[in-house]
A and B are shown apart, each in its own frame.
Chain A
Amino acid sequence: MRLAIVLAALPVALVLHLDSGAVVPVVIVVVLTALSALMPGSAGPALLIGYAALAMAFGDGHPLRLGVWIMIPALHLIHVTSALAAVVPVKTKIELAALKAPARRFAIVQAISFGVAAFAAFIPSGPGIGLVELLGLGALTVVIAVVALRI
Chain B
Amino acid sequence: MSRADKIREAFAQSRGAHWHPTDAYSRAVWLGTGLVVAGLFLHQVEMVLFGVPLILSVLLTTKPKGTPTVSVRPVPRGAGAGVVHTVAHLDGADAEIAVVKLPGVTKAVPAHSPDLPVQIRRDAWGPGIDLRLDHLFAGPDGMHVYGPIVGTEHVRTILPPVEHHPAGPLPPRPAGLVGIHRSPRAGDSTELRDIRAFQPGDRLKRIDWRVTTRTGTVHVRERHAEADAEIVLAVDTRTDVGADVALWSSPHYGATTRPDGSLDRAVRRAASMAAGYLRQGDRVALMDLSRPQLNVRSGVGRRHLMRIRTQLVVCVQAAGWSSRVALRKLPHGSVVVLLSPFLDDEIAELAVQTRKHGHVVLAINTLPLPLKPDRETPWGEVAAELIAAEHRQRLRRMAEHGVAVTREC
Interface residues of A, Cβ cutoff 8 Å to B: 41-43, 45-46, 49-50, 52-54, 56-58, 63-64, 68, 71-73, 75-76, 79-80, 82-84, 86-89, 91-95, 97-98, 100-102, 105, 108-110, 112-113, 116-117, 120, 136-137, 140, 143-144, 146-147, 150-151
Sample (19) of A-B pairs whose CB atoms are under 8 Å apart: A42-B23, A46-B31, A54-B47, A75-B53, A76-B54, A83-B24, A83-B27, A83-B141, A84-B142, A87-B138, A87-B142, A92-B107, A102-B140, A105-B140, A112-B56, A143-B36, A143-B55, A144-B37, A147-B55
Task: Give the contact stretch, choosing among B38-46, B167-175, B194-202, B342-350.
Answer: B38-46
Interface of chain B, helix or strand or loop or mixed? helix
Q: How far is the CB of A15 from chain B (nearest CB, A)?
A: 12
Please encode chain B, from 47 to 62, with 1 for each CB lying within 8 Å of some chain A CB and 0 for all others: 1111111111111110
Q: What is the minimal beta-carbon distance from B8 to any residue of chain A, in angstroms?
A: 20
- CB–CB B53/A72 < 8 A: yes
Give Cα A116–Cα B35 distance, bound, in whole angstroms.
15
CB distance from B370 to the nearest CB of A (A): 41
- Report whether B99 and A57 are in contact in the complex, using a CB–CB cutoff of 8 Å: no
Cross-chain contact of A94 among B39, B50, B108 (Cβ < 8 A): B108
| Majority secondary structure, A binding face | helix
Counting from the closest, the 4 A-B pairs by CB-CB distance are: A83-B24, A83-B142, A76-B53, A57-B44
CA distance A72 to B53 in the complex (A): 8
B24 & A86 in contact (Cβ 8 Å cutoff): yes
Give the distance to chain B from A109, nearest Cβ to Cβ, in Å: 5
B143 within 8 A of A: yes
Partner of A110, one of B44, B53, B109, B138: B53
Find chain B residues with CB under 8 A from A88 CB: 97, 99, 108
Known A-B contacts A140-B36, A151-B29; the reply to A87 vs B46 at CB < 8 A is no
Look across to chain B and name the residue whose beta carbon is closest to the beta carbon of A75.
B50
Assess whether B53 is in contact with A113, with CB atoms less than 8 Å apart: yes
